Homo-oligomer: A and B are copies of this chain.
């Protein structure tokens, strides 16, 4: 007996047949005398289809109205799911974002949740309802529909769980949890039973697509365990994301890979305060996203500054920097394309020496060159040639998990 929040993504609710599987997961928790709130995304390609139709009108739609349009997909799913549960004899009721309400800031297309009126849901629990909630949407303080942007429905789910003080938030998806690395690269990946919020955040930001950072951050802040499960499996333990308790013994939790990275090096940058700032300010003004940054102090009056960007941004970045060589007081811009970022993540490495060395050893044994190294408290990132990246992941996986 508790409060369970479940979230089902677009592919989990894509067809009537799949909605039946979703109902089974809901009913199982409800029959255990739990109060159940269910958050759903739009079915399959519904939102993509709406956007394609919108593009017939314009590629830069009015942002307020764009949100009115794309929020309809979730409304279709909640009603269908409530209809199906009612048909199966259960009391179910749907709520759009405005009906709770979920109040957001006014940032159309990428709104942040400010508050959720949990009483609306709790009252329906008291009346015996399974409550079906549209993900991805809320309203601003003027009562205008706003959507939450990427990862929106996961964010809705964990935020609802936090507002209800739920026991946990089950995120149903098409994989059975969080794995040590991408199963498409390494055959014998291992499913993690648990992972900490911080590790999950690092893995997400490093390219693992399981959970979006926003929802993990909310889970961490309000201490809501998030369980990643496979919709297709009737019984699944999945992976629980929660505050680390028993993870001290694991060296690392996972290995992430991110392709299409380029390394840009600003050579002979004058070694004075403010010069580094000028470089990144210039890039930020042109909305070029900079990832890992490494600065070397090889020369007394000059330094080399390296950073990674998406390969797609290279032409603009290089042209920008080269035309501003004088302004940033640098000598030359050098660029390496076709790189991948390979990272290991684990809170275990905080109290343990030699984790990074073990990673480097794995790469050395395979004769894989590292173009850049960057470390934080719970991760080590290296840049390698993209055509060697899969081998790098395999080698590291073998080293840590065999």
Q: Is the Cβ of A80 less than 8 Å from the Cβ of B94?
A: no
Q: Is the Cβ of B64 less than 8 Å from the Cβ of A80?
A: no
A55-69 interface (Cβ within 8 A of B):
56-58, 61-62, 64-66, 68-69
Bound together, the chains give a CA A64 to CA B69 distance in angstroms of 22
Residue interface mask A355-369, B partner, CB < 8 A = 1: 000000000000000
Bound together, the chains give a CA A57 to CA B81 distance in angstroms of 9
Q: Is the Cβ of A76 less than 8 Å from the Cβ of B65?
A: no
Q: Is the Cβ of A83 less than 8 Å from the Cβ of B61?
A: yes
Bound together, the chains give a CA A31 to CA B72 distance in angstroms of 31
Q: How many copies does the complex hold?
A: 2
Bound together, the chains give a CA A79 to CA B50 distance in angstroms of 11
A54 close to B (CB within 8 Å): yes
Q: Please classify how large the interface on chain A is, using the bins under 10, 10 to 19, 20 to 34, 35 or more.
A: 35 or more
A375 close to B (CB within 8 Å): no
Bound together, the chains give a CA A87 to CA B69 distance in angstroms of 15
A60 to chain B, nearest CB (A): 8
A78 close to B (CB within 8 Å): yes
Q: Is the Cβ of A69 less than 8 Å from the Cβ of B79?
A: yes
A87-146 interface (Cβ within 8 A of B):
87, 92-94, 96, 98-99, 143-145
Q: Is the Cβ of A72 less than 8 Å from the Cβ of B69?
A: no
Q: Is the Cβ of B68 less than 8 Å from the Cβ of A94?
A: yes
Bound together, the chains give a CA A72 to CA B62 distance in angstroms of 19
**Chain B residues, CB < 8 A from A94:** 64-65, 68
Q: Is the Cβ of A62 less than 8 Å from the Cβ of B80?
A: no
A85 to chain B, nearest CB (A): 9
Q: Is the Cβ of A68 less than 8 Å from the Cβ of B79?
A: yes
Q: Is the Cβ of B143 less than 8 Å from the Cβ of A57?
A: no
Q: A56-B16, A69-B80, A80-B69 are in contact. Are A87 and B61 (CB under 8 A)?
A: yes
Q: Is the Cβ of B57 less than 8 Å from the Cβ of A16?
A: yes
Q: Look across to chain B and name the residue whose beta carbon is closest to the beta carbon of A20.
A: B57
Q: Look across to chain B and name the residue whose beta carbon is closest to the beta carbon of A61.
A: B83
Nearest first, the 10 closest Cβ-Cβ pairs linking A and B are A69-B79, A68-B79, A62-B86, A16-B56, A65-B82, A72-B72, A58-B87, A61-B83, A65-B79, A65-B83
Question: What are 23 A-B pairs at a CB distance below 8 A?
Answer: A19-B57, A50-B76, A54-B83, A57-B80, A58-B87, A61-B86, A61-B87, A62-B83, A62-B92, A64-B82, A65-B79, A65-B80, A65-B92, A66-B79, A68-B75, A68-B79, A68-B82, A69-B75, A69-B83, A71-B75, A72-B72, A75-B75, A99-B143
Q: Given A61-B86, A64-B93, A66-B79, 15 other A-B contacts at CB below 8 A?
A: A19-B57, A50-B76, A57-B83, A57-B84, A58-B84, A58-B87, A65-B92, A65-B94, A68-B75, A68-B82, A69-B75, A69-B79, A69-B80, A69-B83, A99-B143
